[in-house]
Structure 1
């Protein structure tokens, strides 16, 4: 074989585990196969669920027949959408005195939550030059990739206590207290932590905010599940709003996604919000200007169609009420399937404790299964989940939950 003539210095990188797993599931012909890998909502029949409110909004957009619907937006994105996204995230409702708070927030449209995380990392790497970014251990795998590509050194703080399958609040606080330095970025999951499904309680969020303020750390919130986790957009934004409202002298930012809570996975709808401190509101427009500089050199402006759907819904009282109902449908089904899996494992007297499945929150569960057990589930039962044991609860249904529980029971007993 002849030598390849190239100036490139490249070597293979590992495939993305989630998409590789989904690809393997897609070609598996087994009739009882189950996908617990990719984080998308599914009905009890295992089908995609375009939100009814989204279908209504799409029909209204067709009737509107906006001649500009395929035109360019501004570099910062669809400006009315950005105001709507900001108000949803931070809880602004048009009340007196809110303008001063709004003046602290610079917002731009992004290519979904991934794009918001990437843009924020790139912006901070260029203009703040943080010594370190602290990621939870474990965290969404793409966080590592995003910050690696931004060139910011990465460290992790403890988050998951394996022995008790619980949130390691003491480990997190101790690590950040002793090792984090002024100017470090701390990445925080606003709700429904991915992959563990474990969130700080409100008292713990208050302590985390106090620590960030005292040590002059920079909070970077990733908000991917607002409204999807609990069914309440207010509850799922509590941490972000607490930091913003109660620590006005601290800068922070938020990466906001509409993929999960509107079911717009392929439309790539997102926003990035940079919050100045209350003494530096004149900096906001300069921040947006510099964010636009990065956007222009990368993708020019955010996609229009998905944000038009969100805008249509959230500017109508009737459609907004419908959306809140859709959120209840999704979050309730997730909770029901958590309880169903737990009940089956208890009924089977599966070795181990399983309370964590119903104590966790949102789309994912850190089941506690080992990589060996995960591989056995795939090879013997055609059940697909990540080697970390993270399972997408949405992939469970009334039709397959008993099968999944029996398979888990089998692989655990056979290993023992």
Structure 2
């Protein structure tokens, strides 16, 4: 007898399955547009110069040891991370009603926050955008939520935000439902609300007594400006809304495998902070006990040093500028060769990803015939485009659209 005899094979996770296939492909012109990780013009990972500097300093600091961090993590890091999100002039910080908890990157921050809402505040219903990052639904259901619902977001015909559908779905949401919102650089569409549209979203959430949970994976990485990319979160706070926000430092610090994250929590009553911290302490204790130190120390070292902080902001601009440049080059090339359809959405979108408008059959055709690795949703990572491969990618997209019309 085997207790595992009835266990079935789980379906593969598409993006990681593509990443596994890519290195074994010997096609000379292969292109990887699947991975959500920054690449240079030479298709190489980039360790930020400020990260190298911080790691060298930490290595030579004999006071740094390998002792456990507290359960809620490196507090000095969390304070700086929360301040970057909310801003130096944040009313919530001035009134001591906001704090952060170090977690395992953005995913871990979402999971800890979701489990807190489900098990301690009794939340059962959550909404996520259609489409959204592929892990949102799984994280929240595994954390204890019972009812997963979608709100309309992407207008496929016009390749833009479906604001009316979004607002209608939020208006119909039950009181107390948790609404997952992308702080900036919406994944996978790259389509963000304008500030006026964010005001409309905040108004409905406030009127309908919904609970906003922001996912901030790309602050600074989207526009190159930390403040612009945090505008939506800061506006919600100014409107008096309580909220959670999961922050990731994978993209904007290039610390993908260090799992550096922060869960920022904004309350209206600062007297409840000790109770919230105590409950989150129990959640973390039963999940992973305490977080790793190295990545958080790197981020703290940079954020607490004015010179390195300025250098980091320059590093962010370098990354965001290259992505914008490749957006422009891809659009120009698609238009130059007469690829079917309109391509203004490529440059209208923002951040790491572009929702091309290609359907599943077309996307899979690009993978199988042309060795252009991308998700079946039509999402591509702009970081995989370079000056040396953008013409090939555009040509393959045109031929695919000709061979497999929508």
TM-score (norm: length of structure 2) = 0.97
Looking at structure 2, the residues matched to 7 and 403 of structure 1 have their Cα atoms a distance apart, in angstroms, of: 47
Cα displacement (A) at 1:47:
0.2
Cα displacement (A) at 1:147:
1.3
Moved over 6 A (4+): none
- The one-character-per-residue Cα deviations of 1:129-159 (angstroms, maximum 9, x if unpaired) are 2241010000001001111212311000000
Question: 1:162 aligned to 2:156?
Answer: yes
SS at match of 2:43: coil
Question: 1:193 aligned to 2:186?
Answer: yes
Cα displacement (A) at 1:13:
2.1
Looking at structure 1, the residues matched to 158 and 4 of structure 2 have their Cα atoms a distance apart, in angstroms, of: 51
Alignment-derived partner of residue 220 in structure 1: 213
Looking at structure 2, the residues matched to 9 and 66 of structure 1 have their Cα atoms a distance apart, in angstroms, of: 52
Cα displacement (A) at 1:8:
7.7
Alignment of 1:165-184 (within 5 A): 165-177=159-171, 179-184=172-177
Which residue among 115, 119, 122 is the counterpart of 2:115? 122
- The one-character-per-residue Cα deviations of 1:161-215 (angstroms, maximum 9, x if unpaired) are 00011111111001111x2011100000000000000000000111111111110
Q: Which residues of structure 2 form unaligned runs of 5+?
A: none
Alignment-derived partner of residue 358 in structure 1: 347
Looking at structure 2, the residues matched to 407 and 8 of structure 1 have their Cα atoms a distance apart, in angstroms, of: 45
Cα displacement (A) at 1:363:
0.1
The 8 Å contact of residues 106 and 285 in structure 1, kept in 2 or not, is answered as no
Alignment-derived partner of residue 82 in structure 1: 78
TM-score (norm: length of structure 1) = 0.95
Cα displacement (A) at 1:7:
6.7
Question: 1:211 aligned to 2:207?
Answer: no
Cα displacement (A) at 1:65:
2.7
Looking at structure 1, the residues matched to 141 and 8 of structure 2 have their Cα atoms a distance apart, in angstroms, of: 16
Cα displacement (A) at 1:62:
1.9
Question: 1:327 aligned to 2:316?
Answer: yes
The 8 Å contact of residues 35 and 383 in structure 1, kept in 2 or not, is answered as yes
Change (3 A) 1:293 1:381: same
- The one-character-per-residue Cα deviations of 1:312-356 (angstroms, maximum 9, x if unpaired) are 100111000100000000000000000000000000111111100
- The one-character-per-residue Cα deviations of 1:207-264 (angstroms, maximum 9, x if unpaired) are 111111110000000000000000000000000011012x22x321100100000000
The 8 Å contact of residues 158 and 172 in structure 1, kept in 2 or not, is answered as yes
Looking at structure 1, the residues matched to 129 and 116 of structure 2 have their Cα atoms a distance apart, in angstroms, of: 21
- The one-character-per-residue Cα deviations of 1:383-402 (angstroms, maximum 9, x if unpaired) are 00000000000000000000
